[in-house]
Structure 1
Amino acid sequence: MNQESRADVADVLAAAGRHWGWMLTFGAVTLVIGVMVLAWPDSTLVVIAALFGIQLVVAGIFRFVLALAADDQSGLTRVMFALLGVLAFIVGLYALRNIMVTITALALLLGIYWIVNGAVELFTALANREAQGRGWAMVMGLLGIVAGVVVLVYPGMSLQALLLVLGIWLVVLGAMQIFVAFQIRSAGRTTARIAPAV
């Protein structure tokens, strides 16, 4: 690898390291909501719908800000992040405005979102071969697709089973996002220290 390409990789890692806080915040919010769903599975449909609506609104804002801030990504990737953010925001607002929507309808909306989100995560990981945490991003993308397919294939499952699947998925997603955020921060700091030498 020549010196110019090393500098390019260092710039990308340093830029990603500056935005690790957004991923950490999103992961923490997702993890907390997942724990709440698992801790109180008998909560009313209104509370459950509101929690998932809030999570999707936060996810939408996070994705949209990431699309604007990720100047190291290609134009197509940024557009996909922005569209995904808008989709999540709209689905979240719909869930919050129609709080009495049935859990099956909400599950279908979440299933569709998770499949799209997983596909974007997987595509981004495959397209950016030198990205930090690429393996984790691929795993998260595959898990998102699988979770979305399970929810779409079995929309009539019992409320308890559905809540268990959704709660576990949110906890796993949140924990993985937090882990990747700290890895990105570490890579950014390491790159910033060695950048002058490069």
Structure 2
Amino acid sequence: MKAQFLKTIRNSVKHWYIPLIVGLLFAGLGIYALMSPVESFLALAFMFSLSFIFSGIGEITFAMANKDEMDNWGWNLAFGIMTFLIGILLMSKPEISLVTLSFYIGFLMLFRSMMGISYALELKQYGVSDWTKLMIVSVLGVVFSFILIWNPVLAGMTIIFWIGLTLIVVGAFSIYLSIKLKKLNAMPGKISDELKSRYDAIKKEMHDEMNKT
């Protein structure tokens, strides 16, 4: 049986706007990075730390609120914890180097992009026709993350550019996902009680069949 992205037959997604806020925060941070000279690196690192702390708290809240509605809520929880911890780490080490910063951000965004690929595949299973857009954005995020992690020499003096571009792409993923969550959020209200009851009966029948000795 295919895993479902959301159990929207019965339940609505809670706080669908949190990924939107996180996405806008990442995208805004990426634009800020592109517009900031290397000389303002300390200010940039401080902005990153604050943004990651708030984003991590938001992702953790979203994951815990939807653990009964989303099959893969653990992805969001793990990403939220990682984002929060990296934010704390950056806050505690303001003297961190540019290359080290690119490694932390690259690793974090790589995890986020892999999560995006997983979500894209599950949106496909769920019947969302334009799942390929999320897949393309997530794959781009993986590519940019690899540049930051495994080839900082290639990034060279343009490392801030790659950081900014990666954050923008990952932010676009969160914004797109939130739009889809909002649409799926309205689905339970459009489904009749009879269909919901039939859905529950089928689930129970399948569960009983799978647990027969």
TM-score (norm 2): 0.73
Displacement of 1:193 after TM fit?
A: 5.1
Mark the structure with the bigger radius of gyration.
Answer: 2
Question: Aligned residues: percent identity?
Answer: 17
Q: 2:156 — aligned with what?
A: 158
User: Is structure 2 residue 91 aligned with structure 1 residue 96?
Assistant: yes
- Give the 5 Å matches for 1:132-151: 134-151=131-148
Q: Is the 8 A contact 2:8 2:185 kept in 1?
A: no
Q: 1:11 — aligned with what?
A: 10
Displacement of 1:192 after TM fit?
A: 4.8
Residue from 48, 55, 61 that aligns with 2:57: 61
User: Is structure 2 residue 35 aligned with structure 1 residue 33?
Assistant: no
Paired with 1:69 and 1:136, the residues of 2 have a C-alpha distance of: 26
Moved segments of 4+, more than 3 Å: 8-12, 131-137
Paired with 2:74 and 2:173, the residues of 1 have a C-alpha distance of: 24
TM-score (norm 1): 0.78
Residue from 115, 124, 141 that aligns with 1:120: 115
User: Is structure 2 residue 79 aligned with structure 1 residue 84?
Assistant: yes
Q: Is the 8 A contact 1:119 1:145 kept in 2?
A: yes
Paired with 2:189 and 2:75, the residues of 1 have a C-alpha distance of: 32
Paired with 1:82 and 1:158, the residues of 2 have a C-alpha distance of: 33
For structure 2, the residue ranges without an aligned partner over 5 or more in a row are 1-6, 196-213
Aligned length: 185
User: 1:109/1:33 Cα in 2 relative to 1: closer, same or farther (>3 Å)?
Assistant: same
Q: 1:4 — aligned with what?
A: none
